[in-house]
Amino acid sequence: MKLFKYILSLNLLLIVFITLPAVGQSPDQILAKIDSVQNAFSDMSATEQMKLIDEENRVKKRVVEIKQKGKELRMVRFREPADVRGVGFLRLDSDRLYLYLPAFRKVRRIASLATNENFMGTDFTYEDMSQSVYADDYTARELSTQQGQYRLFLEPKPSADVNYHHLVILADTSNYVLRKVEFYDREEEKIKELTIDNIEKIDGYWMGKTMRMVSLDENHKTVLELSDIQFDQGLSDSEFSDRSLKRPIR
Q: Residue 201 region, left (φ>0) first, then alpha (ψ -120 to 50), else beta?
A: beta
Pick the CATH number of 26-246 from 3.30.565.10, 2.60.120.260, 3.50.50.60, 2.50.20.10: 2.50.20.10
CA-to-CA dists, residue 27 to 78, 170, 213, angstroms:
37, 12, 25
* pTM (predicted TM-score): 0.87
CA distance 136 to 143: 18
Nearest-angstrom CA–CA distance, 130 and 70: 13
pLDDT tens sequence for the chain (250 residues): 544 444 444 444 444 433 444 457 899 999 999 999 999 999 999 999 999 999 999 999 999 999 999 999 999 999 999 999 999 999 998 789 999 999 988 999 999 889 999 999 999 999 999 998 999 999 999 889 989 999 999 999 999 999 999 999 999 999 999 999 999 999 999 999 999 999 999 999 999 999 999 999 999 999 999 999 999 999 999 999 989 999 988 7
Reduced to 3 states, what is the DSSP secondary structure of residue 50? Answer: strand
Phi, psi of 34 (to 5 degrees): -60, -45
Residue 49 C-beta-side C-alpha neighbours within 13 Å: 7
Helix H segments across 19-149?
A: 27-38, 126-130, 134-137
Domain ranges of the chain: 26-246
